[in-house]
Amino acid sequence: MHPPLPGARAPPARLLPLLPLETWVAFPLLMVACVYNTLQLVPIAYLPPTLARVVGYPSDVFRLAHLSTTTPTRELREALAPNGWLSGAAIVRLWRATYGEQAIENLLWRLSNVDGRKLYLVLGAETLMKCAFCTTDTEYKAYALYQVLPVYLAHAYILMLLTMPAYGTLTTLIHTLLQRPTASTDELRPVRTRAHLRVMALLALAVLMSLDIARMYLATDIPVQGVWQHWHANAHLLRHMLLSLLLTLVWLFTRAQLPAIKVLHALQAMSAISHAVETKQAPAPSGGAKDSLGAPRHASDAVPRAT
């Protein structure tokens, strides 16, 4: 395949054919991850109880009751009591059925002081009720980290599958098992940039995970007001929206053969231009330089030799 000429119009982007690895492994996992991230944006109150235990947007006690974060604990206890005015809410019924009455009492105990409320706003109610053995803020934060890390690791695994090179060992093995012909060199050339895409995707995922972990450990000391102080709810929404966006972008960039990522063609064109410039600037061959009229520059060159 010849490199494009300088100044020539780039060909339009086209979709690459699906590989067996992408058809049977990467694409189904991508769909599962997108559905999972989408369900995480749905409020728990609108999900069936079975799904609400695993996915769903976490409800906030203060938002649910339309109360400020400085509401006295006595009012919260009356609202969350078995006969309270919040006892009929779907999320409260789910908490009572899943974690029990003692877990709600532990939550109210954590909300009885300022530090406990700060921790609640950062980690959420589910973390404070699930961790029955946690007693200090550090243990609660470690438990929250334990819950979030598998999500990022699973997405890292999916990103690595999506950016698997077409000439990789796993891809070749699946080709062999399915008795598919191996892709030709021209088909492999555009997808060799997947290695660079993998680095960028995993780097973006690492940055997102680092910010999420920093939020868990540092947000309790950041003074914010209004809706921004509900760190756990905002971080939950932002986390799963960005994860879905990252997966979608990586999938699109691996599926579309964009002219901008034809690195080999660009390098070949640059090499051709560099070779042409070097050839033009090369010194003239030996044999005596001449002036513009074609005569020798040195007088001795014009004197004939004696025979």
Backbone phi and psi for residue 257, each to the nearest 5 degrees, phi listed first: -90, 95
* Total tally of structural domains belonging to the chain: 1
156 alpha carbon, distance to own chain's centre = 8
Does the pLDDT at position 255 exceed 90?
no
Interacting residues of 259 by C-beta distance below 8 A, sequence separation 6+: 10, 11, 12, 13
In a domain, 176, yes or no: yes
In a domain, 280, yes or no: no
Mean pLDDT of the chain, nearest integer: 76
* Stated pTM of the model: 0.70
Does the pLDDT at position 1 exceed 50?
no
Least confident range from 218-222, 249-253, 265-269: namely 265-269
In a domain, 291, yes or no: no
Does the pLDDT at position 263 exceed 80?
no
In a domain, 302, yes or no: no
In a domain, 9, yes or no: no
Least confident range from 78-87, 173-182, 205-214: namely 173-182
Does the pLDDT at position 191 exceed 80?
no
Could you give the 3-state DSSP secondary structure of residue 21?
helix
Could you give the 3-state DSSP secondary structure of residue 63?
helix
pLDDT (mean) for 195-224: 90
Residue 231 burial (C-beta neighbours within 10 Å; 0-12, 13-18, 19+): buried
Least confident range from 65-79, 112-126, 133-147, 292-306: namely 292-306
In a domain, 299, yes or no: no
Are 44 and 57 in contact, with CB atoms under 8 Å apart?
yes
Cα separation of 40 and 32, whole Å?
Answer: 12
* pLDDT of res. 100: 86
Could you give the 3-state DSSP secondary structure of residue 290?
strand
Cα separation of 210 and 207, whole Å?
Answer: 5
* pLDDT of res. 90: 82
Q: What is the dihedral of CA 175, 181, 187, 192, to 10 degrees?
A: 30
Q: Give the structural domain span for 147.
A: 17-181+188-267
Burial 171-188 (b: 16+ CB within 10 A, else e): beebbeeeeeeebeeeee
In a domain, 96, yes or no: yes
In a domain, 286, yes or no: no
